[in-house]
Structure 1
């Protein structure tokens, strides 16, 4: 039997960091059930659903932990009984939500509040619970939400993999055949010291040709039969590889969305397949002024203008941030990525649609 029956861990988790995870694990180790309540304000730039999802993934195997999120736009004033009453009433309502969802509406009360804040004494008292103070001086994990929002890269090691994947900047380079997506994306990754995700479509094509030659030794690239499933496989694997990275910045040569555009090029229609998640920035390499180089795997020189236009139309329709690279492509791309990262840090957090 553990020391407490039902514990509460409450906070903004803006964003969740290892100090928060330590607090939750401590509460869970001493309590039969632990409700983690994420209370976000509407003006904050990291969505509430993201914070709940990251915490849920990080603590999926922590016994007895349940995560729930809600909106709290009440002002903060620790000297005001009226403001305290508003926050406590909201906390009780959220605890009731969790209990109802668990099918135990009569088990909403808590007997312990775990926090790393001095105000935990007051909150616990108003909830009729005991306060357990954990690492008030941040000695175990010297980090705060403010520090994370101010300089996420310097404090990146204080984030769990789930949060890193969610907060990391993703930049995708795409374009028609022989427009330099591979060269540019790899160079950008080297410049920023970021992981580089190569185009999986090329690798898939190589595997497809090898499979065709297991049926007929003289099979050629031109004779390959492309199916909807090919592009589904490429899209999902490209997305998996991008999302597996936990670095602050990831540079990819194509993504799942690009696979749907390539599907239109080879199938003759736009495949309705998994488009993947939108990156923070697309960089579109223009074909104009770029010589076509035949490397034995390309066959679309005559379609480059059409494909560039298709990418432009689809990126615009999708409503995602994108930039067409023409002259001084590397310098322009570097400036765009630096601006992206400065802009996000300047507003105090990362936000992902």
Structure 2
């Protein structure tokens, strides 16, 4: 299958909302690849939260890993976050996303966007997760940003089985399965 034929599926959501679990489960179900969130690796490797100057590096590394995974993907590539989430967090923590990050965010297009609802129990995760209140604020900001950019999305909630069935129905309705 050609890389151009692979449907890139963005999985977006605030911290502790089940993005990684959903991406992994979908990839297993559809026997394809998923791209883990690079931010988690960054935090573990550097043993610190990112600073403003790290944001473009984090987003561009995420994109580079998506490109690498395309050659191994089968019909779908499930992307656990995108530059848009990095830009949203940049606004929260640094008041703005710098010009290169804004440009990368505008240039990166996905075939389908899934948003994970913050209805799972919030769990602390060392340096990477701040609070349940922050999770809700980020979720609200994400929905506003998707609306402002006219990016349609599927909001998934509930347990994993329910989330999987919602995604399967949406992919089927799109004629992709």
* TM norm. shorter chain > 0.5: yes
CA–CA distance in 2 between the matches of 1:296 and 1:257?
Answer: 23
Higher relative contact order (CA 8 A, sep 6+): 2
Of 165, 176, 179, 2:14 maps to 176
Of 193, 200, 205, 2:43 maps to 205
1:235 match: 59
Which of these two proteins has the greater Rg computed from alpha carbons?
1
Contact 1:264 1:271 in 2 (8 A): no
Structure 2 gaps of 5+ residues are: none
Partner SS for 2:9: strand
Partner SS for 2:154: strand
Equivalent runs, 1:275-286 vs 2, <5 Å? 275=105, 276-286=107-117
1:123 match: none
CA–CA distance in 2 between the matches of 1:235 and 1:191?
Answer: 27
Partner SS for 1:193: coil
Q: CA deviation at 1:225?
A: 6.0
- TM-score normalised by structure 1 residue count: 0.44
Root mean square deviation of aligned Cα: 1.9
- TM-score normalised by structure 2 residue count: 0.84
Q: CA deviation at 1:325?
A: 1.2
1:333 match: 167
1:26-73 superposed Cα distances (whole Å, 9 cap, x missing partner): xxxxxxxxxxxxxxxxxxxxxxxxxxxxxxxxxxxxxxxxxxxxxxxx
Q: CA deviation at 1:186?
A: 0.6
CA–CA distance in 1 between the matches of 2:95 and 2:46?
Answer: 19
1:105 match: none
CA–CA distance in 2 between the matches of 1:197 and 1:317?
Answer: 26
Partner SS for 2:12: strand
Matched positions, count:
166
More helix by share: 2
Partner SS for 1:292: coil
**Per the alignment, do residues 184 and 225 of structure 1 end up closer, same or farther by CA in structure 2, a change over 3 Å counting?**
closer
1:190 match: 28
